[in-house]
Structure 1
């Protein structure tokens, strides 16, 4: 479009130039006529000179020829320039026409490619439309199936909700009944009664010992970790109150580690609150030493107190020096512990040693509580114990053979039963310690490691 407008402008310019040239020729011709008139007017003035009419005619003719020649020359020059301009205009027109044709061809190619692309897109659209229609049909079919399933599930859910609600109501009712039963059972198991604290816990009229909640249980083998637990409880009760007594209650203990027992004795002797030992059933070896050396001790008449020598069960290849060192260590242990028992009894250590073997070939001197009092192994023989701290019904699960073995050996019951007495004692020793305990089979009463 731009090329066509440009060609039109060039054509207008050529016509304008042609019209200008024509106007110039007309003006030039008018000028020539004016000169002729002017010559005619002036000629009377110049008639003073002697001129003839023939000469004037020649001059006019010559002037006219000159003007015509000049006019022809100018016309030829202008025609040539006009031809050149027209030729350029024609070239530009041809060029623009060529460009227009090229542009039309390019546009046609673009249009063709666009039409082809649109055709492909239309075909693809039709294909996708068909596929979409099929997918929608399948989806609608599945949706109908799902709707049917959802309807069935909704019916089941409503049914299950009804059943669940019924179960929940039943559960709430049963829970309420259970809570009522548990509350009743709890009230029956627990007693709302405060412990009795007495500075002198022995009621002499009825020979009954009154225990408070300041009690520490000692059952089974005396081990370092059990001794630490007992000692920490003594510290706790001291921090709580230093006036009322603390009770170390021995149910059934064969003794145990020498260092552990000495740890308990040390805590008992230096406690600001008095620590009293109470023997219910059996206290042997290190447990018997704790009972005898305590500031005050109590025992049932049928409780058994057993003292004996420490003994060594040497396993492996021990030379003479090792045997001598073991004997020296045993002798030191016995002098420290057995010497204190003999002193309380009011006899010498040699006499105490002799009496041990008068009672038993193994050196196990055991006495019931009433006889132990005469020997000053215990301070008081009591008829009964009133434990004012028991405010709940005991759990029967804590009173089984497995629990007894667990406390006695401080180990797994099943595994312990499979071990021999030597293995049990040997496996429980810490480095450089002594297991000072009573064994009925007399095979492993004391061992060093």
Structure 2
């Protein structure tokens, strides 16, 4: 625009100069007319140019105005866009800050939770250590109590035992002092002799034989006799034993028990113990033919059992049977221990027996924990009489038992 105004000024300024000169020269020279004409032409041309310049200037001014307005509009738009962008930027910034705050908050919450968890873990570890320590203390206390209880039990066990060992002698009997020493290789034989009794006695004879050849003792406190088959099993176990089997009678041995006593390799009796031999007495059932057959079997058993006894006594079977009835009308020949030795029913009289097997207090634990085979339940019949039911016999077996009052049925 400034260039346009300068250009217009340069054109108009010479026109005025030339106009004044032309007036002067017209009066004086014809050439001036030509110059004037030329001037007019130039002036016209200048006017035209000026008009054109003005029009052009107007166009340019319009264009400038338009451009200015467009620039202002664009500036306003830009300003608005910048404002919008600024707002968006501010919003984004705020959102970003909010997000950062949320992240920061979440991070702080995570850090807090992590810290809380670590603190909880530490508390748990501390509690575990404390519990472990308390457990160790408790365990130590329990161990101490256990040790004290074990010590107390050992003291009690010490009190329950004699704390001595059983005595084992190859020659357990002293003939001068009449003292017999029994070891723990002893077998009790009491009550009626039945199959279970034979199992109980023979199993222990075999067991003791597998340990050593030191003497084995069958100790009879009280036995009325019993099954001839079961008694014979005991006799054969005694005969076949590598270790000597001795019989000791403390109170009473009758019938089959008396045969076992007499036929032992060595037998020992208290002076006041009673040994009873008699004819076989048994209980039989059946018709007359059967009873006759059973009687013949009983005689055969009596012969097989009493012949060795009579032979040891140095007399015959008939003499043995005769003497039974000389002593007692029932045929029950009973003798005290000191007299029984004279008849060779037993070998030695014993004044004192040392039971070295009883090393534990029997009030705490019985010396023989196994159930006694001689145990049977005692009952009362309709008359109020006490009795015991004996087990059923095996075929061809007989009870060789002292039973005057039918206690054994």
TM bucket (normalised to shorter chain) is 0.5 to 0.7
Give aligned pairs, total.
270
Distance 1:422 1:212 in 2: 35
CA 1:209–1:394 in 2, change beyond 3 Å: closer, same or farther? Answer: same
Q: Does 1:434 align with 2:408?
A: no
Q: Does 1:380 align with 2:345?
A: no
Distance 1:354 1:193 in 2: 50
Deviations 1:267-315 (A, max 9, x none): 1112111111111111111111000011110111111111111123344
Give the TM-score, by structure 1 length: 0.54
Distance 2:217 2:283 in 1: 34
Paired residue for 1:297, among 256, 259, 267? 267
Distance 1:422 1:432 in 2: 24
What is the SS of the residue equivalent to 2:300? helix
Deviation for aligned residue 1:183: 2.6
Deviation for aligned residue 1:390: 2.2
**Paired residues of 2:324 and 2:331 also in contact (CA < 8 A):** yes
Structure 1 match to 2:324: 356
Structure number, greater radius of gyration = 2
CA 1:440–1:395 in 2, change beyond 3 Å: closer, same or farther? Answer: farther
Q: Does 1:203 align with 2:174?
A: yes
Q: Does 1:214 align with 2:185?
A: yes
Deviation for aligned residue 1:372: 0.5
CA 1:191–1:238 in 2, change beyond 3 Å: closer, same or farther? Answer: same
**Paired residues of 2:379 and 2:388 also in contact (CA < 8 A):** no
Distance 2:361 2:163 in 1: 12
Paired residue for 1:340, among 305, 308, 312? 308
Paired residue for 1:255, among 225, 228, 232? 225
Runs (5+) with no aligned partner, structure 2: 1-134
**Paired residues of 1:308 and 1:356 also in contact (CA < 8 A):** yes
Structure 1 match to 2:379: 417
Distance 2:142 2:216 in 1: 48
CA 1:421–1:264 in 2, change beyond 3 Å: closer, same or farther? Answer: farther
Pairing 1:49-198 to 2, within 5 Å after superposition: 179-198=150-169
Deviations 1:94-146 (A, max 9, x none): xxxxxxxxxxxxxxxxxxxxxxxxxxxxxxxxxxxxxxxxxxxxxxxxxxxxx
Distance 1:421 1:430 in 2: 25
What is the SS of the residue equivalent to 1:417? strand
Distance 1:408 1:307 in 2: 23
What is the SS of the residue equivalent to 2:379? helix
Distance 1:333 1:229 in 2: 23
- Alignment RMSD: 3.1
Deviation for aligned residue 1:430: 2.7
CA 1:275–1:408 in 2, change beyond 3 Å: closer, same or farther? Answer: closer
Distance 1:361 1:442 in 2: 18
Distance 2:235 2:277 in 1: 16
Give the TM-score, by structure 2 length: 0.59
CA 1:302–1:433 in 2, change beyond 3 Å: closer, same or farther? Answer: same
Q: Does 1:246 align with 2:210?
A: no
Runs (5+) with no aligned partner, structure 1: 1-164
Structure 2 match to 1:140: none
What is the SS of the residue equivalent to 1:277? strand
Deviations 1:184-234 (A, max 9, x none): 221112233222221111122321011122111111121112212311211
Structure 2 match to 1:331: 299
